[in-house]
Amino acid sequence: MEMELKYGDGRKTIRIPDRADVTILKPAEFPAVGSITDTLEKALNDPLGCQPFQSMLQQADPETIAIAVPDETRPVPLNLILPVILEEIRKTLPALNPSAITIIIGGGLHPPLDDNGRERVVPRQIAPDCRINAHDALHDSMVDYGLTSRKTPVRINADFASADFKIVIGQIDPHQFVGFTGGAKGVVIGCAASETIEHNHSLMFEEGARVGQIAGNPVREDLNEAGQMVGIQLAINVVLNAEKNIVQMLVGQPQEVLRKGAETCSAVYGVDIAEKFDIVIASCGGHPKDICLYQAQKGLNLASQALSPGGHILLLAASPQGVGDDIYFDYVSQFTTPEEVLNDFKDTGFRMGAHKAYLFGRTLAAFDVAISSDLDPGVLRKCHLRAADPTVIVGEWVDAFKGRPSIAVVPNANTTYFYHG
């Protein structure tokens, strides 16, 4: 059997021996919306949990507006969404100077974008007179909102926090411990200080912090609380299908947008499996899900949840931007085994970047893992990952198996998650 799976901007072919039983675990097929402009305008006029956008703007009569948008690790079609939002603002507030609108590219602790990166995310022609900033979680000025009930210090980019009207644009996607992305996350993580992100993410070890769960998820509930403290007036979120086309456009109060969007996202990406598999072949889903190793870990973790104890897993992750995080690489390369990483992380406490080594380590310690990537094999070895040719390694695994092994192919591993019954 021969299959093509997404890999970076292209595809990679893999041959699977005929004596294996193969199951493809893929997202449900949801049709794309029609005109994105028409869909967005309709949603702006009939939002969830708040007044129509124009009414909100008229009532607030802001002197400044901030719009938080995701970086290039999220395939949100900003080139189609931002012009509609900016035109609505222009029509409703004709006296507002476009320079009073600040678009903040919120990448959280991802490396801040340079001029070329900002141009890729928000091309100047779609917002020619607006201010466009790339958030820097380590060096930007922040506004302090105090502590959440879970003791997370809420410190947010001052350009966003100081605006009279606050908007967040993002994507609702399954997330390995937040439950789902979207809602306030694009601000509370995307435009937050490093200590905010670190404390919130440290809650990932508590009960309920898992993919597909909102209620009772401490990480998600902490994000929602922080978003209320910041006072985000409007969230604009999209749910995408496996082809990265919009299947739902949601506008409104952040938690209402998240709640409704998560229902759709679960229907698209939640897959019921009766039993686990001997071998899993997982593609992150291509660009930008496999833009770097740091992002690809999400696919490895989610795909491993379909794997029998001690099973084999192959991850396809092109990683054109390399490892993706210096803190992670410097930390993981100190150790010779995943078990050493797990023990040290437990002894020394939670640290962003290092937490990614811990998440990798949990999977690497439990399963036999191989990866197909454009990264140098020596770099992968320092990350305790084994580089392999997809067809060769799968053939070896099947040949070593007595009987007919069960193989799951996961074409969109970064977003597909599994449940039983």
262, 291 Cβ separation under 8 angstroms = no
pLDDT tens across 62-96, in order? 999 999 999 988 889 999 999 999 999 999 999 99
Token pair of 40 as six digits: 């967005």
Mean pLDDT of 127-147: 96
Say if residue 250 is exposed, middle or buried (CB neighbours under 10 Å; 0-12, 13-18, 19+): buried
Mean pLDDT of 160-176: 97
Mean pLDDT of 18-23: 96
Mean pLDDT of the chain: 96
What is the pLDDT confidence band of residue 111, given thresholds at 50, 70 and 90? confident
Taking 70 as the threshold, does the pLDDT of residue 332 lie above it?
yes
CATH superfamily of 36-269: LarA, N-terminal domain (3.40.50.11440)
Strand 174-175 to strand 179-180: parallel, antiparallel, or no bridges (unpaired)? antiparallel
Domain ranges of the chain: 2-25+273-419, 36-269
Taking 80 as the threshold, does the pLDDT of residue 177 lie above it?
yes
Architecture of domain 2-25+273-419: Alpha-Beta Complex (3.90)
Taking 70 as the threshold, does the pLDDT of residue 169 lie above it?
yes
What is the pLDDT confidence band of residue 110, given thresholds at 50, 70 and 90? confident
Residue 69 three-state SS: strand
What is the residue whose two structure tokens read 């379909």? 306
Taking 90 as the threshold, does the pLDDT of residue 147 lie above it?
yes
Token pair of 119 as six digits: 């141009």
What is the residue whose two structure tokens read 């074409």? 411
Q: Return phi, psi of residue 373, to 5°.
A: -155, 160
Res 72: pLDDT: 87
Taking 90 as the threshold, does the pLDDT of residue 356 lie above it?
yes
As a dihedral over the C-alpha atoms of residue 264, residue 265, residue 266, residue 268, rounded to 10 degrees, the angle is 90
List beta partners, residue 168.
68, 235
d(CA 100, CA 97): 6
**Residue 54 identity:** Q
Residue 335 CB neighbours (<10 A): 18
d(CA 20, CA 146): 56
Mean pLDDT of 399-413: 96
Token pair of 263 as six digits: 């229902």
In percent, how much of the chain has pLDDT > 90?
Answer: 95
d(CA 176, CA 291): 18
Res 47: pLDDT: 98
Res 144: pLDDT: 98
Residues 6+ apart with CB under 8 A from 356: 294, 297, 325, 328
The closest of 313, 267, 300 to 405, measured between CA atoms, is 313
Mean pLDDT of 109-131: 90
What is the pLDDT confidence band of residue 29, given thresholds at 50, 70 and 90? very high
List beta partners, residue 248.
239
Mean pLDDT of 193-212: 96
In percent, how much of the chain has pLDDT > 70?
Answer: 100
d(CA 22, CA 100): 56
**DSSP code for 19:** T
What is the pLDDT confidence band of residue 376, given thresholds at 50, 70 and 90? very high
Residues 6+ apart with CB under 8 A from 291: 72, 73, 319, 320, 321, 324
d(CA 410, CA 276): 13
Token pair of 132 as six digits: 């466009």
What is the pLDDT confidence band of residue 421, given thresholds at 50, 70 and 90? low
